[in-house]
Amino acid sequence: MKKKYIIKALVSRIAISIFFTAIFIFVTYVAFDKTINKYASIINIVSVKGRGKTSDSPATSLDTATKRLIYYPDYGSKFATMKIPEIGLELPVYHGDSLKIMRYGVGHYAGSYFPGEGGSIIMPAHNNEGYFHEIDRLVKGSKITLETTYGTFNYEVDSYKVVKETDLDAFPIQDEKEMLIMYTCYPIRYGVIGRRTERYVVYSYRVGDDNA
């Protein structure tokens, strides 16, 4: 009987310890989550700078008759600059969307079209500060500019939504209308530890520019 009482008391103490430890971890995370993310972003940026940079894309041009590039950028090369004044964003854009490439800026999914080709352009970026950290502030009508090595293209935000990372229908490849699809991990800022399984997607359409 005494042995059973000791075991019961021991189990109770362990349960109480686990309970208070869980509360401590939760409170600490809530209190320092913003700081943790901030320093994680700094570490990410420092690691990027320490790895040098990818190469610039060789000169190319757009065949307006066929709506196709005459020469395509090399995989991993920079071919554009994305500018979103509304959120103070200006980032280099690289052909390719590997994690290594996206350490430097915005990626471009190789299976999608290029600006000016009249189809879906898919561009992901990390949700760290200085990357797509604030694209959820964009609203319908927000302006986005892509300054490529062969021309400047303007887009206007039409809609946005949160999707599962496995929802391929959220990233349609079509050539009926030029559409810029930007996305990043969601939740964008705080509240999730570890891998994020959702994506915040912004859909924009091309509007009048010098190349239209």
Question: 126 an active-site residue?
Answer: yes
Measure Cα distances from 67 to 13, 21, 63, 116, 178 in Å: 71, 61, 5, 7, 11
Band of residue 7 on the pLDDT scale cut at 50, 70, 90:
low
Q: Which of 95, 108, 126, 133 is catalytic?
A: 126
44 or 140: which carries more pLDDT confidence? 140
pLDDT single digits (tens) 168-195? 999 999 999 999 999 999 999 865 566 7
The predicted pLDDT at position 64 comes to 86
- Does residue 44 have a pLDDT over 90? no
The residues that bridge with 92 in the sheet, in sequence order, are 81
**Cα distance between residue 154 and residue 164, in whole Å:** 28
The predicted pLDDT at position 31 comes to 44
The predicted pLDDT at position 56 comes to 66
Question: 185 an active-site residue?
Answer: yes
pLDDT single digits (tens) 118-140? 999 999 999 998 999 999 999 99
pLDDT single digits (tens) 55-76? 665 678 899 899 999 989 999 9
- Does residue 196 have a pLDDT over 80? yes
Summary mean pLDDT of the chain: 81
For strands 106-108 and 120-124, give the pairing.
unpaired
This prediction's pTM: 0.72
First-last CA distance in the chain: 87
99 or 31: which carries more pLDDT confidence? 99
The predicted pLDDT at position 52 comes to 42
Query: By C-alpha distance, which of 140, 150, 131 is closest to 48?
Result: 131
pLDDT single digits (tens) 97-120? 999 999 999 999 999 999 999 999
